[in-house]
Amino acid sequence: MRINTDRFGEVDVDESRIICFYKGIIGFENYHRFVVLDFLENSPFKWLQSLKDPSLAFVVCDPWSFFRDYAPEIPEVEKQELEIDSDTDIMLITIATVPKDISNTTLNLLSPLLINARKMIGNQVILYGSGYQPRHKVFRKIRLDGNKTGTGNRKKVKHL
């Protein structure tokens, strides 16, 4: 299938890679069908491109690329709504905010996009009471002892 995008022009996409967000994304509830496109080769950042509006695309990424200790507790009701039978069905991505000064890039860890990677359906989930914020800085400082902050165990989920 060919789609039009403002950033990439016409792009061929595999229809099996189209993700349907039945409720839309917060603030964009009327947009339901998206596809993930590469940002740059080998970049953790991707584009979540709307199929309805060529100008609507979100910068997204795998949150564990920057926050290895990210451990979202996904409510069972959310898993049931997306017909997730196994954690291996889960793909989780976060929306990035990239200002002019890219060193201030943030990820929305409070409201990730939860996707059933087998059925390609998703919802934006709000992790109430999690302590996560909608703007976690991506490029954190390195401690004086040379260790990066925020290391930990990575959950086993599908990747972009």
pLDDT (tens, 9 = 90+) of the chain, 160 residues, equals 999 999 999 999 999 999 999 999 999 999 999 999 987 888 899 999 999 999 999 999 999 999 999 999 999 999 999 999 998 999 999 999 999 999 999 999 999 999 999 999 999 999 999 999 999 999 875 444 455 544 444 455 555 6
Longest dimension (CA), the chain: 51
Using an 8 Å Cβ cutoff, are 95 and 107 in contact?
yes
Per-residue model confidence (pLDDT) at position 15: 95
The whole-angstrom separation of Cα 68 and Cα 155 is 9
Question: What pLDDT does 72 receive?
Answer: 96
Contact 121, 115 (CB under 8 A): yes
Task: Report pLDDT for 99.
Answer: 94
Instruction: Please name the fold of domain 2-137.
Output: BH3618-like (2.30.290)
- DSSP H/E element including 86: none
Residue 105 corresponds to which tokens in the numbers above?
């890039």
C-beta separation of 107 from 68 below 8 A = no
Give CA–CA dist 66/151, Å, rounded.
9
